Amino acid sequence: MNKQEFLTALLILGFPLWFPLLIAGAAVVFSFYVVLWSLIAALWAVEIAFAVSALGCLATAVIQLFRGELLTAGAMLGAALVCGGLAVLLFDGCKAATVGMARLTKKIAVKIKSWFMGKGRENA
């Protein structure tokens, strides 16, 4: 029995052990990616919420102004300015975080691929 046949037999006989471990490892890596991108999705959700809140507060301020409630209209206008300002400030942060996360996940994927493929090594 040569080395190649021995390794093939070892892979076949060890399948009940290494296959579930491989699936579990893949699930951990996948869940890591999901968590990372969920953080980015949550950040963009906050950005959208600020922008929509600014528009809603502005519309409410206009409605309250026509109803003659100046104090409420002023408060809503202030809230619209705060939410709009936060939306403008957060937009660049969201873009930078998304680009950074894309680079990070690419580096992680390349590293995982190099573990399986081997850098500069022939697979024969």
pLDDT band at 122 (very low <50, low <70, confident <90, very high): low
Distance CA 46, CA 54 (A): 12
Residue 122 lies in a domain: no
With respect to residue 62, please indicate whether it lies within any of the assigned structural domains: yes
If one counts the domains in the chain, the total is 1
Per-residue pLDDT band for 85 (boundaries 50, 70, 90) equals very high
- How do residues 20-29 score in pLDDT, each as one tens digit? 998 998 899 8
In a domain, 100, yes or no: yes
Q: For position 124, what pLDDT does the model report?
A: 44
| Contact assessment for residue 76 and residue 60, using Cβ atoms and an 8 Å cutoff | yes
In a domain, 16, yes or no: no
